[in-house]
Structures are given as C-alpha cells and as structure tokens.
Amino acid sequence: MNREYLTIIGTAHVSEESVDEVKDAIYEQHPDIVAIELDKGRYTRIKNEMMGIEEDDAISVTEIIKQNKIGVFLASTFLSYFQSKIGEDVDVKPGSEMVGAIEAAEDLGIPIALIDRDINITLQRALNKMTFKEKASFVWDSIVSFFKKDELEDEIDIEELKNPENLDEIMEMFQEISPGAYEVLVKERDAYLAGNILNLPQEKIVAVVGAGHKPGIYRYLDNPETLPTLDSLRVTDDKNGIPWVKIFLALIPILFVVIFFLAFFSGINITGNLIEFLAISMIMGFLGSILSGSKLLSAIVGGLVAPLTIIHPLLAAGWFSGLTEAKLRKVRQRDIKNLSNIEHLKDLWHNNIFRILLVVIGTNIGVSIATLFILPSKVFIPLFMKLFGG
C-alpha cells in the first residue's frame, strides 16, 4: 500500500451526502481496490438486498438462548433499532453509503475488500469489557429512548456529526459512559480497520469507514508498530481477572446440596425440607415466567426445571421457559425492524423479541428470588440449625 494513494472517506451511516461523496471519489479516482467497513455477513445481506433476493427472515431464538448469546442479540437489536430510527428520521436507509461504494466499484469492475471485524465478535468483546452497572445503564437508556422519539428527532443533524470537533465531543461522552465498550467499539476497530488496510497489496485505495474511525485509523497508519495483531482482536473469551461473582453464585447451590447431604447422613428427616425446596422453587419459577407475560406452557416448564437449575450452576430456568416461548412465538427480522415504529409500551409488549427476552429474564428473576431470599430463610437455615444443634 502506498500512503500517497490512500483516500479514507469518513461517512455518516445514514447520510445522503455521504453516499454522493463515496460514489464521486470512486468514479473520479478509479482506485485499484475499494475497502469498505463491512464484515462478510453484513456484506452478504446488503448484496442479497441489492439483487432483490428475499432471505428467510426467521430468527432462531432457540439457538441464541442455547448458545447463551442473549446479550449479543440484545445489543445487536438495540443498535439496529437506533440506526433504523435515525435513518427514518432523515429518510436515508442505514448503510446506504456502503451500497453506493459497492455499486460504484462493481460498475467500474474494481475489487472490494471487507475490512471490518465480525459484528458478533465485536459485540461479545464489548459486553465482556462492560461492567454490570454499564450494562444495566445501557439497557435502561435504550428502553427509555423508545419513548423519547420527538426529542431525538429535533436533535438529529447528521452532517454536523461528521464535524471533527463534534466527533471528539461525542467520543469523549461515549468514553465516559462506558470505557470498556469504547475500547472495543472504537479503538479496537480503529486498529482492526487500519491493520486490514495495511495488509492490502494494492497501491491505490479508497477506504469507506464511519467518520468516527477516521482519526484513529490515521494514528495507527502513522505508527504501525503500535498495532496489535488481528488475531488477538478476534478472541471472544473473557479471561480478565477472576470471576468472583460467578464463583459466588456457583457456591450457593453447592452449599445447598452439601447441607442436604450432611443432614441426610446425620439421620435428620429432610423429607419436609425437600418438599418445601421443590414447592418454593417451582412456584417462583412459574410466577416469574407467567408474570413476565409468558404462555402457560412456558411458565409450567420454567417451574418444573427450577429446582434442577438452582442446584446446577451452569443452567438457568429462564433458558427453558424462553426456549418454550420461542417455539410458541415465531420471531422474524421484521420484529427488529418494527422496533423503530414503537411509540407506546403496548407496542413493545406486542413485539415477539421483547416478549421472549422478558420471559427469560422474568423466570430467572423469580428463581433468583427463591435462591437468594426465600429458600435460605425457609429451608436451609432451619435445616442448618437442626444439623448443628442450634
């Protein structure tokens, strides 16, 4: 790559001016290759849409729950909502500048390079870096934003967002809200995009990226020795520190089992305690599910598996009630698109994505209340007192 022949175009993803700017640059410069801020999955979806190919828009919520990817799916859904909403407000479809780049490159017979990291890897790494407080704040702010559309519409000025001074201010605010997510969504992707640009063998390059990444990419290109390896930026396992919270939560069911066994081998009659354990667990699992708006069958499943999931730290009752709910409620891509049309809580309630996730969360909350509060006071502390003669 020859830096002299590199052009990086910083765009807003829902800007008509960005579309024109991208096309004009490609037609005027006729580069050897056009590098675009897309991964393979997003590029395929855009290409299919351009060719009028209708994809099966069914979403396998079952697989999402089984693979424990609810957090990634939730974050992806919120991001899709925000982009769709802003796109509707300015009458420009999200990703139009990438479509423009693809169309211009194909028209001139220029190859295309996909230089972005897989979105699922990016979101998983971001979630791994975020604290519990940051995640809770993100979910709360996202939900609140559903009902502040009028305020958002008055504030949107897409072209102003590309102003370097405004970008710096926005990035500083983002960094204050969640330093961990900022590190992954901005700095890491700056490095990933820059690394892929440097690896391109062609000399004359036009790169189309979000305006927020342009300064960071240039910093890495000016100092390539600071670039981490691309492989290190694809790892999703969270190995930072000791997961004390997870260890503590895993010890609780282990402690329950130990108390039961000690009482049994000490000759204490534990039949009544076992019945109480099963009854409380099943009732709270059922209530957590049904009160979150699940179907009756989902609530029954959540209740039945609750005792097992309490003593098995790697299982969650919400997975089972959620899987059942997913079988009963078909989720499609249109459910994500329809999020941008939500104006009232009632609209959100009728969205299948929201309802299934709510069932998962509601069931787990019910079982957690039983595990942390009801069972210790009603079952395990009395049994413990009997065991040690209190």
Identify whether the C-beta of residue 77 lies closer than 8 Å to the C-beta of residue 17. Answer: no
Name the helix (H) or strand (E) containing 64.
helix 61-66
pLDDT at res. 181 = 84
As given in the structure block, the two tokens for residue 264 are 């049994």
User: pLDDT category, 90, cuts 50, 70, 90?
Assistant: very low
Strand partners, 332: 58
Distance CA 52, CA 49 (A): 5
Distance CA 376, CA 184 (A): 40
Describe the crossing of helices 70-90 and 352-369 by its angle, rounded to 10 degrees: 140
For the whole model, what pTM was predicted? Answer: 0.72
Identify whether the C-beta of residue 306 lies closer than 8 Å to the C-beta of residue 367. Answer: yes
pLDDT at res. 189 = 94
Closest CA to 338 of 77, 38, 148: 77
Neighbouring CB atoms inside 10 A of 104's CB total: 21
* DSSP reduced 3-state for 7: strand
Interval 294-349: pLDDT, tens: 999 999 999 999 999 998 877 899 999 999 998 898 777 666 666 656 666 677 78
As given in the structure block, the two tokens for residue 5 are 């022949």
pLDDT score of 115 more than 60:
yes
What average pLDDT is seen over the chain? 83
**Mind giving me the DSSP string for 201-231?**
--SSEEEEEEGGGHHHHHHHHH-GGGPPPTG
pLDDT, average across residues 161-170 = 51
Which is higher by pLDDT, 35 or 337? 35
Asked which of 23-37, 118-132, 355-369 is least confident by mean pLDDT, the reply is: 118-132
Interval 217-248: pLDDT, tens: 999 999 999 999 999 999 987 655 666 767 77
Interval 43-88: pLDDT, tens: 998 999 898 887 665 666 667 766 666 666 766 666 665 555 545 5
Distance CA 318, CA 302 (A): 7
pLDDT, average across residues 177-205 = 92
pLDDT at res. 337 = 64
